[in-house]
Amino acid sequence: MAKLKRLVPTHELRTSFVREAASKGRLFVHHDKASDLLVILLVPPDTPTAVHYIDQYVGLLYQPDNLEVVGLQVEAFEKSFVPRHASVERAWRLSDSCELEDFGDIQRAFETQAPHLATEIARTAEEVAEFSMREIVRAFEEAPTY
């Protein structure tokens, strides 16, 4: 992959919002099947964000006005990213983690698996990130899912 030209140097991105979000934030997880894009946010989905790619699939989502990291974006999620990372694949497949009988089961599975999925993705991204993803992992683990 060609060297990425970034709008903002990685070391200028901030994680103080992520530290606060671990106790106060919400976790929004959305997968767009048509574009195969997975977005994980600790802010409402209508919040303006920019993407800072840390590898060919994963980007940190940050607020352009204050450079605070507020989530992750993963491109080619099911097609390329999931098959390359066994821990993410286990978290993504509901059939491996629960039995679904009714809508309530789907809701409970989502509430349980979304933070686990987000955490596994953040841990995987940490392998290529130029700064510690520890705060993001913690925020994803602790934030309630919506």
pLDDT tens sequence across 117-135: 888 999 888 887 776 788 8
* Residue 116, pLDDT above cutoff 60: yes
Domain ranges of the chain: 10-142
Find tokens 């605070």 and name the residue: 68
pLDDT tens, residue by residue, 10-25: 889 998 888 887 666 6
Query: Which of left, alpha, beta for 53 (phi over 0: left; psi -120 to 50: alpha)?
Result: beta
Task: Give pLDDT, residue 27.
Answer: 87
Which of 70-74, 85-89, 112-116 is the most confident on average?
70-74
pTM: 0.83
- Inform me whether the pLDDT recorded for 146 exceeds 70: no
